[in-house]
Homo-oligomer: A and B are copies of this chain.
Amino acid sequence: MARIIDSRPLLDAFLGVLRPLSGRVAQAVGRTPGLAILRAVENAGSAAYAARIRAAAAQAGIACHEVPVAARTDGAAGVRAQVSALSAAPDIDGILILLPLPAGLAMPRAMACMDPDRDVDCQHPLNLGRLMTGNPLYLPCTATAAVTLAEGMLRDLRGMNCAVIGASASVGRPLALQLLDRGATVDVLHIQTRDIAAHARRAQVVFAAAGHAGLVDATWVSPGAVLVDIGINADPSGRPGVVGDIDAAAVADHAAAVTAVPDGVGPMTTGFLLANTVHAASRRAGLDFTIPDLTTLPAWQALRL
């Protein structure tokens, strides 16, 4: 049976490491690091996600400022004005714009108003480009969480055949680049790929970021493969809660491991968002910052297959 990977213990340990680094900033500048979360007021999913971030931020010693925006009353121009104002606010070190965006607002137009130094979600073209050159300023949160869990399970990804399903600018592409930085061979698959299951079967590690509930079944998985599920989808059966892109029951007899949804990649995504926020606050305070070494944490070592 495939092992199910839950990253909540790793997040807890990571937040414990981040807390003194937040405290160091607070001591230097007289306030805790501040993260603004801008989200569409109408969306229940992003409200729940923001609440989870807020709880983790409190553990890490970071102040969260939720900024609900309504396209109907604020308009896309109003939302952009909010991003500009937050980019200049003295107590805001990082800004996260949650999807779905308010109607009428596209991410490139939102990013045009974003201070790249506060783009702790690594969505600004300047930060994506830094990632492309192998010199990232901030870590792309979801992609880094996915790679961190794969490395926890397998240690060294050099020379491994990895399939990335989904080629979005926010997840699939940054993930492919991070895997290349680690020496993996990367096959990027998507909706126009022919015989996509055959491509996926050749991979030792499959990263599913297609946004399609239960897309990956047993026919996509070679024996002993490691599966990292990045999808967060409404349950097509209508039940409350979310499901991933991988049909965990169907692959249970084939895969060596599969990450849980929502408790696999999700918690550590929040962890890297908060690490980036402490990084941003440290830079503004003139303090050095290095992402803490996760590999020394027992919770990371416990991931090993």
Contact = CB atoms under 8 A, between A and B. Distances in A.
A105 interface: no
Contacts of A236: none
B190 A133 contact: no
A135 interface: yes
B192 A158 contact: yes
Given A158-B192, A185-B190, A108 B135 contact: yes
Contact of A130 (B129, B176, B180, B194): B129
Main secondary structure of the interface of A (DSSP, over half): mixed
Of A158, A167, A194, the most chain B CB neighbours within 10 A belong to A167
Contacts of A17: none
Contacts of A158: 192
Interface stretch (A33-41, A120-128, A145-153, A224-232): A120-128
Interface of A: 107-108, 124-135, 158-159, 161, 167, 169, 173-174, 176-177, 180, 183-190, 192-194, 199
Contacts of A129: 124-132
A173 to B, nearest CB: 6
A133 B180 contact: no
Contacts of A128: 128-129, 132-133
A183 B167 CA distance: 10
